[in-house]
Structure 1
Amino acid sequence: MSQENIFEALQVGLTQAKSVQTPGEIHGILTGMLCIDNETSGSRAVEDVQSDMLDSALDALREMTLEGLFDPDMGFKPLLPDDEVALDQRVRSLGRWCDGFLYGLSNSGQFELDKLSPEIREVISDLTELSRVGLTEDEAQSESAEADYAELVEYVRVGVQMIFLELQPKREGPSTRESLH
């Protein structure tokens, strides 16, 4: 299943279930949970919704996300609407993705911000600010708005990869990642 197909399947499943969560928010939650525990199931990211279509999409999303997070070439990408969607909607989706990610990190109760490096704490702070992002009408009309959005998405992508890489080695027990020691 491609990222585009997963986004659509999640959107349909969430709409049918009358969920207020968005595909991006779900991916953010799942990604945050996977940073804490890479054994987390995809269905944990959705609150009180049961659907075969949704479960299938969440399983595919989990596998795609882990593949990206473990990719040595940093292939992780946040699940966000395509470029054909209006910029203000994409910006709001990015904010909801960041909000979901922060929720996913803290959901287990195992996340300890004060034990992270200063660089990672700064990324977490920036993601917190981005969770409240929005566009004014003037900003949406700006010539640089698309480029600014692309830079923010890239910052989120790399920042999340950094968080994952810092948290991952601290796991105890079986892991899908080999130790380099």
Structure 2
Amino acid sequence: MSQGNSQNNIFEALQVGLTQAESVQTPGEVHGTLTGMLCVDNEISGARAVEDVKNNKIDGALDALREMTLEGLFDPDLSFQPLLPADDVELERRVQALARWCAGFLYGLSADGTFDINNLSGEVGEVVNDLTELSRAGLTAEDADNESAEADYAELVEYVRVGVQMVFLELQPKREGPTRRESLH
């Protein structure tokens, strides 16, 4: 199964779980919140990303989402992907989902009260400011008719993907791997 299909399945399953749990949050918003929280503290549980759940039926799914997200963030090949609707969903809904993902990410960064943008390097601080702007993104009728709108959206998603990894790498220590053996000559 391709990563795109896997992401689509996770998005849809999380949507169903959130609806059943009577949450008003969207899958992208939850994933953004969880990702922001993990950038600050990679030990938090997945369930912390959902504020308004009436029951704990989706805790296991959220913990699995947490593990998948951390795996992508720590991956040396930078495989992290924001959880967004599939490419066959109308562009306006995908842009709204990206905006909510960014809003969730910003909320997740600040949720425990320890995050301070002034402690970030200039480049990473700019990324957080850009994500703040993207959290207000929308699509006008003129934009929707523009042939380059799809390419523009894809570029924004890639910017978010890479930018979030930059934030994570700056805020989280690198995982220690196995010690490399010295070769004898």
Same fold by TM-score greater than 0.5:
yes
Give, as a single letter, the amino acid of the residue that structure 2 aligns with 1:130: L
> 2:49 aligned with 1:51, yes or no?
no
Give, as a single letter, the amino acid of the residue that structure 2 aligns with 1:142: N
Shift of residue 23, structure 1, vs aligned partner: 0.1
Q: Distance in 2 between matches of 1:8 and 1:111?
A: 31
1:5-20 counterparts in 2 under 5 A?
A: 5-20=9-24
Q: Distance in 1 between matches of 2:56 and 2:111?
A: 23
Q: Distance in 1 between matches of 2:13 and 2:68?
A: 14
Which residue pairs with 1:172 in the alignment? none
Give, as a single letter, the amino acid of the residue that structure 2 aligns with 1:84: D
**Counterpart among 116, 126, 130 of residue 130 in structure 2:** 126
1:18 match: secondary structure:
coil
Give, as a single letter, the amino acid of the residue that structure 1 aligns with 2:83: L
> 2:78 aligned with 1:78, yes or no?
no
RMSD: 1.6
1:1-150 counterparts in 2 under 5 A?
A: 2-49=6-53, 50-52=55-57, 54-150=58-154
Q: Distance in 2 between matches of 1:7 and 1:56?
A: 15
Shift of residue 56, structure 1, vs aligned partner: 2.2
Deviations 1:34-93 (A, max 9, x none): 0000001000000131232x2222111101100000000110000000001000000000
Shift of residue 127, structure 1, vs aligned partner: 0.2
Shift of residue 167, structure 1, vs aligned partner: 0.4
Q: Distance in 1 between matches of 2:52 and 2:139?
A: 32
Structure 2 unaligned runs (5+)? 180-185
Shift of residue 6, structure 1, vs aligned partner: 1.9
Between 16-25 and 67-76, the greater mean CA deviation after superposition: 16-25
Largest Rg, 1 or 2: 2
1:124 match: secondary structure:
helix
1:32 match: secondary structure:
helix
1:162-177 counterparts in 2 under 5 A?
A: 162-169=166-173, 177=175
Aligned residues: 173
> 2:149 aligned with 1:158, yes or no?
no
Which residue pairs with 2:183 in the alignment? none
Shift of residue 146, structure 1, vs aligned partner: 0.2
Q: Give identity over the alignment, percent.
A: 73
- Output the TM-score relative to the length of structure 1: 0.91
Q: Is the 8 A contact 1:28 1:104 kept in 2?
A: yes
Moved over 6 A (4+): none
